[in-house]
């Protein structure tokens, strides 16, 4: 974390070196919760509002009865002015220039965990109330910022309903979803994480089609603590470490392997707050696995392809010593076919993905997938490495300030921290432009060409397109 910065000078020095706006692709607002409770009451009555109030207390760890894992506490910004900046849009609007940000996408605070609420009625009513709040409170400041609507994803039907309400009725133009939905089987014991595409028991293709129709980017901000190994009852930091990367990797892998990216090649997907290194690994792993386990390559490992005569000759020649008396057992072991029961129509595990080779994987990552990175992540520059991506398909990493959360001790330091990647020689000014403007701008305008109409950066946006 940068400490002794003369921040206005740092922002000014950066401005002298760049010729483009800075778009914050992942800032956060902090809701004024009594107003949300009032909206819940307006929509569903006082009893539901009371249940929602109780849920809020358990959601943030005030009651140990709701969740078995240590959840966030004291998660709001530290400095008073920063705390109020995230809650008062007029103050945010006034301070963005000071922070070095020209335009900001603001994601929910409380709205993020609400998307995972297991109570169907509360989840849906809260989503509706929160989206009304974002529209009414932050909407008037659309020239410099836009709030994102929360879209609950437990079923495709609820997602479609809230998409239509948030985009068509309220006029919001950005959305956030969770891509990791906890499910329980009928026995109530065997649970799993539904990642919305591969192996999902529900068909989410209508949701992706509606996003494309409405001109919005499905942006995933799922939480990865509470499942896997991140289940400490006593330590939130333990649960938090790496959790966003794990959650976003899960849904990204599912969308690619499940074929959503090939069925909707014009749709863009965003994965927030997990950085870029997991995406580097996923891209490399996909290519490596395709080369060795695509529908044709896998046949080289078919036990039925063993040359029995050659195997016999090798056993006779090389089964020596204590193995010499066990040649029959060796022959039986080699000829055994533990995979004989495998359904041979399922051996091409890339068939569902629609991927036909490494070029398809590179295209998907180059054109469709975008990765939100926090300013202080020292590995952001990895996404722009020519050495790692010799085919030119660098990752579409983009800058997210994360203002509104505890991990930003001082909002004024965020953009200068991102610029340090340039001053320290890890990122070129060209890469910095891609990081803070080009990638997120392309993601949004590919989906909605008029996204920046009427904003402070409309002229630059039009020129960039």
Claim to verify: residue 40 and residue 165 sit in the same structural domain:
yes
pLDDT at residue 390, as a whole number: 61
Q: Is residue 257 part of a domain?
A: yes
Q: Same structural domain for residues 283 and 321?
A: no
In a domain, residue 2? The reply is no
Residue 349 lies in a domain: no
Do 312 and 422 reside in the same domain of the chain?
Answer: no
Q: Looking at the domain assignment, is residue 129 inside a domain?
A: yes
Q: Are residues 234 and 328 in the same domain?
A: no
| DSSP annotation string for 233-294 | SS-HHHHHTTHHHHHHHHHHHHHHHTTHHHHSTT--EEE-SS-SHHHHHHHHHHHHHHHHHS
Asked if the structure places residue 343 within a domain, the reply is no
Closest CA to 128 of 210, 43, 64: 43
pLDDT tens-place string over residues 253-287: 999 999 999 999 999 999 999 999 999 999 999 99
pTM greater than 0.75 (yes/no): yes
User: pLDDT (tens digit, 9 = 90+) per residue, 312-353?
Assistant: 999 999 999 999 999 999 988 887 766 667 788 889 999 999
State how far the Cα of 86 lies from the Cα of 1, in Å rounded to an integer. Answer: 21
Q: How far apart are CA 123 and CA 327, in angstroms?
A: 65
Structural domain span for residue 316: 303-338
Cβ-count burial of 444 within 10 angstroms (0-12 exposed, 13-18 middle, 19+ buried)?
buried
C-beta neighbour count of 296 within 10 angstroms? 8
CA distances in angstroms from 355 to 151, 256, 289, listed in the order given: 29, 9, 12
Q: Are residues 86 and 232 in the same domain?
A: yes
Look at residue 431 and give its three-state secondary structure.
helix
Q: Label residue 109 exposed, middle or buried (CB < 10 Å: 0-12, 13-18, 19+).
A: buried
| 237/311 same-domain check | no
Same domain, 178 and 322: no
In a domain, 177, yes or no: yes
d(CA 40, CA 126): 6
Looking at the structure, tell me whether residues 286 and 164 fall in a common domain.
Answer: yes
Q: Distance between CA 220 and CA 178 in Å, rounded? A: 5
Asked whether residue 364 is domain-assigned, the answer is: no
Residue 231's domain is classified under what CATH number? 3.20.20.140
- Interatomic CA distance for residues 113 and 133, integer angstroms: 16
The b-or-e profile of 187-221 (16+ CB within 10 A means b, else e) is eeeeeebbbbbbeeebebeebbebbbebbbbbbbb
Position 83 in a domain = yes
Q: Are residues 224 and 331 in the same domain?
A: no
Looking at the 3D structure of the chain, how many domains does it have?
A: 2
Each residue's pLDDT tens digit in the chain (465 positions)?
A: 344 445 457 888 899 999 999 999 999 999 999 999 999 999 999 999 999 999 888 775 433 333 578 877 887 888 899 999 999 999 999 999 999 999 999 999 988 889 988 899 999 999 999 999 999 999 999 999 999 999 999 999 999 999 999 999 999 999 999 999 988 877 766 688 999 999 999 999 999 999 999 999 999 998 888 888 888 989 989 999 999 999 999 999 999 999 999 999 999 999 999 999 999 999 999 999 999 999 999 998 888 888 889 999 999 999 999 999 999 999 888 877 666 677 888 899 999 999 999 999 999 999 999 999 999 998 999 999 887 776 667 899 999 999 998 889 999 999 999 999 999 999 999 999 999 999 999 999 999 999 999 999 999 999 998
Whether residue 176 sits in one domain with residue 128: yes
Q: Both 314 and 283 in a single domain?
A: no
Q: Are residues 218 and 319 in the same domain?
A: no
């Amino acid at each position: 974390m940068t400490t002794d910065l003369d921040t206005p000078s740092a922002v000014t020095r950066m401005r002298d070196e760049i010729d483009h706006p800075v778009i914050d692709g992942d800032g956060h607002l902090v809701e004024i919760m009594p107003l949300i409770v009032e909206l819940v009451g307006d929509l569903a009555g006082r009893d539901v509002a009371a249940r929602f109030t109780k849920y809020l207390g358990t959601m943030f760890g005030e009651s140990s009865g709701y969740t078995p894992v240590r959840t966030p506490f004291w998660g709001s910004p530290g400095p008073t002015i920063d705390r109020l900046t995230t809650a008062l849009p007029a103050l945010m609007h006034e301070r963005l220039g000071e922070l070095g940000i020209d335009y900001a996408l603001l994601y929910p605070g409380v709205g993020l965990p609400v998307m995972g609420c297991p109570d169907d009625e509360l989840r849906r009513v809260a989503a509706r109330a929160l989206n009304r709040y974002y529209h009414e409170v932050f909407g008037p400041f659309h020239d410099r910022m836009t709030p994102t609507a929360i879209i609950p994803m437990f079923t495709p039907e609820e997602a479609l309903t809230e998409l239509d309400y948030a985009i068509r009725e309220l006029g919001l133009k950005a959305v956030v979803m969770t891509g990791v939905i906890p499910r329980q089987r009928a026995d109530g014991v065997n649970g799993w994480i539904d990642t919305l595409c591969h192996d999902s028991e529900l068909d989410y293709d209508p949701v992706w089609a509606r996003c494309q129709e409405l001109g919005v980017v499905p942006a995933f901000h799922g939480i990865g603590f509470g499942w896997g190994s991140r289940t400490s009852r006593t330590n939130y930091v333990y649960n938090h470490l790496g959790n966003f990367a794990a959650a976003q990797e899960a849904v990204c892998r599912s969308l690619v392997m499940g074929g959503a990216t090939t069925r909707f090649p014009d749709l863009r997907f965003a994965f927030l707050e997990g950085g870029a290194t997991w995406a580097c690994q996923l891209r490399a792993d996909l290519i490596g696995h395709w080369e060795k386990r695509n529908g044709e390559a896998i046949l080289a490992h078919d036990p039925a392809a063993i040359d029995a005569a050659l195997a016999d000759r090798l056993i006779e020649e090389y089964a020596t010593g204590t193995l010499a008396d066990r040649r029959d057992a060796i022959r039986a072991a080699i000829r055994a076919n533990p995979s004989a029961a495998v359904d041979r129509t399922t051996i091409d595990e890339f068939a569902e993905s629609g991927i036909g080779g490494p070029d398809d994987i590179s295209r998907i990552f180059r054109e469709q997938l975008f990765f939100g990175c926090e300013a202080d992540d020292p590995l952001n520059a990895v996404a722009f490495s020519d050495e790692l991506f010799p085919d030119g398909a660098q990752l579409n990493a983009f800058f997210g300030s994360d203002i509104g959360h505890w991990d930003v001790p001082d909002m004024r330091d965020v953009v200068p921290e991102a610029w340090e990647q340039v001053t320290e020689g890890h990122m070129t000014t060209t890469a910095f432009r891609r990081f803070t403007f080009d990638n997120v701008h392309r993601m949004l305008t590919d989906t909605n060409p008029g996204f920046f109409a009427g904003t402070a950066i409309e002229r630059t946006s039009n020129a960039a397109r």
